[in-house]
Structure 1
Amino acid sequence: MSATPGTKLAQEIHDEFLVCKICLEAYKSPKSLNCLHTFCEQCIENHILSESTYKKYTDYREFTCPLCRKRTQLPIGGVKKLPDNFLVSSLSEIVQR
């Protein structure tokens, strides 16, 4: 029994656009960076911590995107204050239906 075209499309959308490229799981609290890449809030938090321990003299107010290496300014208030990606959140809800 093969999957319906709609189910196949939903799976492709999920795999390509709704999975964090750090943890490889569905986004949890998706946050956008300046470069418009999106990651889970906790994944970005962990990335910043590992980057700052790796580069002892780094500026903690800025970090690099794990995919494209562009710099993003960390807002006052930390990762929680990065913009939410509402498109990813909404698309995820639709695909789950």
Structure 2
Amino acid sequence: MSETPVTLLEAAEALNSPGLDRRAFVKAGGVSIAALGVLSAAGGAALATDSKSAVSPPEGANNFYKSDKVTVQKVTFKSSYSLQIVVNLVTPKNLDRNAKAPAIV
């Protein structure tokens, strides 16, 4: 076989051509399968990395502007999917808890 190798672009063009013969179809399919194999091997290697070496999120996002007019309080609750949610609840110090107040979520 003294034919030149088929690139992925040539394989795609061969599959879309109206006069597709069996040989061109098989060559194009082989190139596509080989490309898929290379991509899946690279993806598997990326997923196989040690999860302990992954960067964890910082504990307590405490890098926000601080004001003496608000109170920041850590609140924890479970979501409907049983995930633990941890948020900072910011309330004005002069908040009347008996009256309605707007909220930003």
Give the TM-score category using the shorter length: under 0.3
In terms of Rg, which structure is larger? 2
**TM-score calculated relative to the size of structure 1:** 0.23
**TM-score calculated relative to the size of structure 2:** 0.22
Higher relative contact order (CA 8 A, sep 6+): 1
Higher share in strand: 2
Higher share in helix: 1
